[in-house]
Structure 1
Amino acid sequence: MDKGKKIKESETIVNDEDDNNCWWWLVQKGTAVTFVTIALFGFLIRVAVSTYPYSGAGNPPKFGDYEAQRHWMEITINLPIREWYRNSSSNDLSYWGLDYPPLTAYQSFVHGLFLRFFHPDSVSLFASRGHESYLGKLLMRWTVLSSDALIFFPAVLYFVIVYYNKPSRSRKSDIAWHTALLLLNPCLILIDHGHFQFNCISLGFTIGAVAAILSEKDLVACVFYCLSLNHKQMSAYFAPAFFSHLLGKCLRRKHPLLEVLKLGLYVLGTFAAVWWPYLYSTNSILEVLSRLAPFERGLFEDYVANFWCATSVLIKWKRLLTTDSLKLVSFAATIITCLPSMVQQIKSPSNRGFLYALLNSSFSFYLFSFQVHEKSILLPLLPASLLAMEDPSTFKWFVQFAMLSMFPLLCRDDLVVPYLALLALFTLIFNAPGQQIVKESNYLSYYLGTTTMHLILCFSAILHIVYLTMHQPEKYPFLFEAIIMNLCFSQFVLITLGSNIKQWMLNKPVKLEIEKKFN
C-alpha cells in the first residue's frame, strides 16, 4: 500500500512478511495434516451423497438439472464453439439450452471429453437425451467430485492460510473447526452432489478472490472474481461488495485513478480472455447475453424464501405489474438495500467490513432481485461461512433455515435421508468438544430472546414432520411450502438486518456491549 491514507494495520489480516511465510506456518502449526484429514472426510461424504438420486431422475421429458448439465456436455463437444448459444436444428435452446456464461460452457466441454472417452453413448448428439445408464451417472458424479477437489478445496485452504496466519487466530482447534464448517457445508453438498450442479466452481473462485483481498493481492482477486462471474452470473450477488471495497481502498492511495485503471485493465483482460470466441461480432455477444437473463421465467422460481415470494401470498405481483415493471422495481429494491453496505466500505474499507459486505450484498440480491431460485441461498451462505468465527451461533441459525428453505426441493429429489444425515453431522461439528462458542455473541438471541428462538426451532421441526407425513389441502396445494418459505424469509430478514448493523458498528469508536463481544 502507498504512503497516503492507509487502512489500519490492525484491520489487515496478514501483512506481506507474514504472507511470505504462509506455507511454513501451515506446516509448523500442523494445519496441513488437519486440512487433509478433513478434506478426505468431506470428499467421502460427497461420494456417499452422490449415491442418492438427483434432479429429474427418471422423470421425462426434460428430466432436471442433471440432464441440463449432461446436455451441455453433449452440445459443447459436438458443435462448433460459435454455435453453443445459437438456436439451430442441432441445438434446440428450448431443451436445456446453455444459460450460463462461457466459462461454464468450457467446463462442460472438458467434462464432455471425459465422458466421451469412457462412455461415448452418454454424450452422443441427439441420441443421448435423457441418458441414465449406470456408467454415465457414475462419470457425471465424478465430474462434480473432481471439480470440488480441484477448485473448491484448494480455495478453502487458501482462505484458511490467509485468515488464520495471525497470532490472535492461531488456535489449532479453531482452524480445524472452521475448516470443517467450510468443507462440510450441508447445503452445498446436497445441491452439488445430490441435486446435481457445479456451484463448487464459481464459489471456489469467489473464495479465492476473498482470500486474495485479505492478503492484499487485489489484482489476483479481480481475476478470480471475474472467473467466478464468468462461470455463473449469480456471482454478481457479490459485485457490490467487491466494487465498494476495492474502490474504497483505491481512494485512499496516492494515485487513486491509476489504481482504479489498473484494476479495470485486469477485469477487462479476464473478460476478454473468457469471451474471446464470441468477440468477433456484436450479434454473437448478444446471443450469449440473451441467454444469461432468463426474464421469461418470472419474478421468482418455485417457492423461494425471498421478499417477492413471501409477500405474493397477499400481493399478486405478477398480476399487478408487468414483467418490465417488475424488473425495474426489483432492481431498485436490490440497489437500495445494497447501498448502506457499499457506502460503509467506500468510506472505511476493512477486511472484516468486506466480509460483512459480501454477506449483505448477496442477501440483498437473494431477497429482492428478479428470478431467484431456492438454490441461490448458497450465495449469502458462503460469506456467512467465512464469518463463522465472528458469530458462530448466528451462522448455525442461518444454516438451519437455509436447509429448511431448500427442504421441499430436496424432497422432490428424494434426498431426505442425506438431508437429515448432513443436518445431524453439521450439528455435531458445530458442537464439537473443545470448541468455545460464545453464546452471548448471538445478536438474534439478544433481540428475539432464547425462549422465542426455541419455539421457532420447535415449529421448524414440526414443519419437517408435517411436510413428510401429511397431505396438503386440495384447495391450497402449496400451503406447506408457503409456510416454510415465510418462516425462512422472516429469519433471513433478521440476519440481514443484524449483519448490516454489525458492519456499520465497525466504524464506531465506542461499541455497544453486545458488539464488544464480537471482537
Structure 2
Amino acid sequence: MHEEGFRSWVVPTAVTAAVLYKWCIGLGSYSGQATPPMYGDYEAQRHWMELTIHLPISQWYKYDLEYWGLDYPPLTAYISWFFGILGSRINPSWFALDKSRGIETGGSKLFMRVSVLIADTLIYVPSLVMLIRTWHAQRSTRTQNLALLVLLFHPALLLVDFGHFQYNSVMLGFAVFAMNFFVTGHDLLGAICFVLSLGFKQMALYYAPAIGAYLLSKCLYLGLSQGFSLFVRLAVVTTLSFLVLFSPWLPPFASLFSIADPVTRIFPFNRGLFEDKVANFWCASDVVLKWRRWVSKETLVRLSAGLTAIGFAPAVIGLIYGGWVMSGLGRGDGTRAKSPTLQLLPYALLTSSMSFFLFSFQVHEKTILLPLMPLTLLLSGSTPDSATYEIGALVNNVAVFSMWPLLRRDGLAVQYVALLVFWNRLIGNNPFRKPQSLFHYLSLVIYSGAVILHALELLVTPPARYPDLFPVLNVLLSTPIFGLTWLWSIKRGVEVSWAMGGLGTRKSGLDKKLDDKSDSAVHVTGARTQSLGFAQGRRRPQFRAASVDYATSGPASDIPSSRP
C-alpha cells in the first residue's frame, strides 16, 4: 500500500482487519460455556452488568459474594453498568437480576462479544496508534505501521480477551496512554491515565513501582523548584483521581467505613498463595517444596511481598538514581521538559511486572499479559537480528503456551494454533530455523519441548496419581524463560542507564555511546519524541550519537539513523 500511494489507508485498514480477526476468534467458545453451576469468566462479567444496573452502589461489593461477587475496582463496575444499561435496553432478559444466571442465548452472547470489541476499539487501539507516533517518532512511516501490526495482533491478549473473554485491553490501553503522555511531556495526563488503569483492574499495580519511580526521577531531574512543583501537582491529581473513582464509598456519599467493601474485595489475601497452575516461582517450586504444607498463610504473604519488592528494586533504583545524577538539568516548563530516564521506562515496566508475576500473591496465568505489554512494545521497534526481537518473540510464544491449560479448558485449541502461526509469520519469526547462536539452540529446545508436551498430552492419559501432570510440566518448562526474561530486563536497564550516563557523573549534556549490543532508544526532546527501539542492536560497527540538550524545546538534533 505504501508503494501504490495508499499510505494514509494503512492504519484504518490494519485496524479494520484486526477487528474482523478478533470477531472471528469470538466465534468460538469461551470461559465456562455450558458448565454450570458457576460457568466462568464470561458469566462473571455478564453478572456484574446485571447486579450494577439493579442494585444500589452500596450493595455492589456485598451482593451474593459466593456467586461471582464483584472483585474488581470501581471503573470496571462503572463500565459494567454502562454495558448493562445498553444491553437491557435491547433485551431486559439478558440482565434480569438472579433470573438470568448462566444465560447463553445467541443474542446475549453476541452482545457480550460486541461489548469487548467496543471497549478494545475505543481505548486500546487508539493507545497503540498514539504509541507508534510517539515512541517510534524517529522511525519511517512504514516501520511505524509494521509496529502497529505487531501490537494489534498480539496473540496472548487476543486469545484472553476475545476467546477466553475478559476486558484486559481496557487496563492495558490506559497504561499505554500513560506512557504516551509521559513521552509528550504531559505527566499529569499520564498520571490520570494510570489511575484509570488501576481503577479498572488492580493488576495494573504490577506497573506502579516503575511508573512511580519514573515520575519521581522526573521531579529530581527538574531540580528543586520545578521538581517540587511537579511532585505536588502529581500528588494532587493522583489523589483527586482516586477520590473521584471511589467517591460513592466515601463521605459525604457513604460512611468512611464503607471504603472497606471494595478494598477487601479487590485485594483477596484470604484466598491463599495461588489457586491454579501458573508459570511462576511459587507454582514451579511448590512441586518440590510444598509451601502451603509447612508455611503459614501470613508468612507466605510476607515472603511473597519481600521477594516481589526485591525483584522490582533494581528498576526503581535505576530510575531514581538516574534522575538524581542528572538533577537540575531540566529547564523550561516543568511539565513538558523530557527526562532522560524516560528511555529506561519500558525496561523498568518489564522488570516490575515480571517480578510481580513471578513472586507475588494470587497470580493468575492471564496476568502474564502485563509483562508482555512492555516487552512487545520493545519488540515492535526492534530489528530481526537484535536480541530484543529474539527474546520478545520467544517469550510471547512461551507466554501463549503457558496459558494452554486454560485455553484447552475453554475449547480454544484451534484459535491457539492459528494465532501462534499467524503472529510468528507476521513478525517473520521461524521458531524452528537452523540455530546460529547459543540463544537459538535454547529457543529450539524450548519450542521442541512444547511440541513434545502437546503430543504427549494428545496421545497419553496421565496417571490417576498425577492428574495435573501436563499442566505441571508446562509450568516447569515456561517458568525458567520468564525468570531469565526478568534478569534480562534488569541487565538491559543497567546497560541503557550506562549508555545515557545514568551511572556516571553529573553532566550538563549527555554524550551517549551505544554499542552493537544496545537496543535502547535514542532519546531526544522538543517537538520530536523518542523512538522506542531506535538502533535496535544490529550487528554493525559502533557509532557515536550526537549530544542532545534535554532542555531544548526546538526540533530534534540530527542523529545518525538506521531506519529500515
TM-score w.r.t. the length of structure 1 is: 0.88
Counting only pairs closer than 5 Å after superposition, residues 134-213 of structure 1 correspond to structure 2 as 134-166=106-138, 169-170=139-140, 172-213=141-182
Residue 105 of structure 1, CA deviation: 0.3
For the Cα contact (< 8 Å) 1:334–1:364, is it kept in 2? yes
**Alignment partner of 1:127 is 2:118:** no
Query: 2:221 corresponds to which letter in structure 1?
Result: R
- For the 8 Å contact 1:241–1:342, the answer to whether it is kept is yes
Partner of 1:20: none
Deviation by residue 1:419-458 (Cα, 9 ceiling, x = unmatched): 100001101111189xxxxx9xxxx986x44323212211
Change (3 A) 1:32 1:218: farther
Contact 2:318 2:494 in 1 (8 A): yes
Higher helix share: 1
| Equivalent in the alignment of 1:92 | 64
Code of the aligned partner of 2:488: G
- 1:240 deviates by 0.6
Contact 1:505 1:511 in 2 (8 A): no
Match of residue 76, structure 2, among 69, 85, 104 = 104
In 2: Cα distance, 1:103 partner to 1:84 partner? 12
Partner secondary structure for residue 467 of structure 1: helix
Counterpart in the other structure of 1:474: 464
Is the Cα contact below 8 Å between 2:29 and 2:412 reproduced in 1? yes
Matched, 1:319 2:286: no
Aligned residue type for 1:75:
L
Q: Which residue of 2 aligns with 1:298?
A: 272
CA contact (8 A) 2:132 2:145 kept: no
Deviation per residue, 1:302-349 (Å, 9 max, x gap): 110000000000111111211111111000100011111111111225
Counterpart position of 2:412: 415
Cα deviation 1:79-136 (Å, max 9, x = unaligned) = 11121112xxxx2011100000000000100010111011111100110011111111
2:477 counterpart letter in structure 1: L
- Give the one of 353, 369, 391 matched to 2:360: 369
* 2:319 corresponding residue in structure 1: 345
**Secondary structure at the counterpart of residue 289 of structure 2:** coil
Would the aligned equivalents of 2:131 and 2:180 in 1 still touch at CA under 8 Å? yes
Question: Within the alignment, does 1:515 sit opposite 2:532 as a pair?
Answer: no
Query: Does residue 514 of structure 2 align to residue 491 of structure 1?
Result: no
After superposition, the C-alpha distances for 1:10-43 in whole angstroms (9 at most, x for unaligned) are: xxxxxxxxxxxxxxxxxxx976522111111111
Deviations along 1:176-204, one digit per CA (max 9) or x if unpaired, are 22101111111111111111101011111
Q: Is the 8 A contact 2:174 2:196 kept in 1?
A: yes
- Tell whether the 8 Å contact from 1:445 to 1:453 is kept in structure 2 after alignment: no
Q: TM-score, normalised by structure 2?
A: 0.81
Tell me how far apart the structure 2 counterparts of residues 405 and 359 of structure 1 sit (CA, whole Å). Answer: 18
The residue aligned with 1:42 is: 18
Structure 2 unmatched ranges of 5 or more: 323-339, 383-387, 500-512, 520-534, 538-564
- How many residue pairs get aligned? The number is 475
Pairing partner for 2:372 from 361, 367, 381: 381
Superposed displacement of residue 511, structure 1 = 6.6
Equivalence for 1:426: 423
**Secondary structure in 2 matching 1:490:** helix
Contact kept in structure 2, 1:226 and 1:267, CA below 8 Å: yes
For 2:163 and 2:45, how far apart are their aligned partners in 1?
A: 13
Say if 1:177 and 1:429, in contact at 8 Å, map to a contact too.
Answer: no
Classify 1:30/1:164 alpha carbon distance in 2 versus 1 (closer, same or farther; 3 Å). farther
3-state secondary structure, aligned to 1:160:
helix
Aligned residue among 220, 241, 248 for 1:277: 248
